[in-house]
Structure 1
């Protein structure tokens, strides 16, 4: 097997809130992403998914740990070396209404990336490149002179995808790219991303809380809870045979479009609220809501171990 494109090792991102309070947003996560692979990251709001994505791209500086991209530790790079690397690592943001500058035309929104990395060429060449990118994501190239408010949410997200593709990256982090869109548009955007991946050889980290959509696009899925990865496995294995009780609870919430199967299925309802990442529980962080918790879970923190080939879970009873 070839070496992974992205390797995350022991990554932590803590935020100092003052008064001796520290928010442990991302707490010791490790995983890798192969070339051309899509790894999905799922979990409740506030579990640290988006913070992990931004820290991997170095939009946030890490508290500790390392991220290796194509053999280079991105946290050790400075200046022009870091700028060159950023060409290969791009992000699609969650909210297409907030991530596009309302004062710029689509030509300037997409062309800005070309200008920064000296890829624009002449004005006519820049215009051709922008129009080509719009055509690539399914938008009318003639609309390049319009402003963001003249587009629908789905169209704006396609502009965001075009902006990410402008510098011809190898790796894209998609931070909940469909959560702000109508259900009818979500599948179109995900299918577009899959088509682009096949044609351009892209590698994705796909962050979402829609488990059915994550299964549709991901090769492997990581489940996060309170800043930690609690389960990691191939997509089919995770959905067919979840080993962590938190994953089972998440999967039980997915509706099945068969009334007879749905009526017989047991829904796992978690008790209590998500603990605060400022003061996480000792031992297994999930024990305060876990229906299987024992005294051991309250004191001993489980490690993320391989329970089956390629299937990892951090549970004493996995």
Structure 2
């Protein structure tokens, strides 16, 4: 008949007290003997294991002992004493960080920050400049403890360096040929500020993205820039033409000089040869004038009558008949004209 007995009303407080008493009884049975020792040992091992940490590739671990820098650890599995004796902070020194001055890029959209981008040039003109800075953590200790909020200090220092360098130059120089020079000066100036503030940061690149006048006069300044670019282009073309023409002219001049020198040497050598030959002939003429005169006469006749058959008569002989005919009949026939040959043929036929 128990099923018809009325049930007791549930009491949450009584149930909680009953659960606590059951847990206490269980712990009393466990902690008897060596149970307490093993429990304390496990807690101690867990406490010691809390000192294990991992330093990833491209990272450095800074270990502190009672709040003071103790050591810097390299990548790998590392161990330190648990807190409160030691603590650690892992710093990524390989990550390339970036800072934007004068603009902010949000995903696929870029918005201008006029408070940072508008500044005065050395000739009291307003220019809109946007600077992009890339940097690394060079010294993790200085990065953590050298300055308060070092990355914010870098942004402020970059704006200071940019305004300082732009303020030393005119707007035309800033927008045209001085752009690379200004980038280098801003990078050097910014690094010097970061070193003086002990930020532990190193600037790897400082690049000017936009260098424009205010929007109200932007088109006029762009016309000036285009005119300057056209001038530079024409200058380069003129220099290229000069570099093409001048070497050719110099080469032609050298060629003419060499030809003149060769002609000069040739004439001098020929004159010396003629003089020596005349001297030699003179010496031979002094030795035997008649023989030399005859030889000179024959050589001169050879020069003035080249390619002809010549007959030399003995001295004192004035009769030519003994040596006739001077030309053989066949040769005379070959030397006669075609009309004469026809006439002679007709005579033979008659």
Regarding TM over 0.5, the answer is: no
Greater helix fraction, Structure 1 or Structure 2:
2
Task: Calculate the TM-score normalised by the size of structure 2.
Answer: 0.19
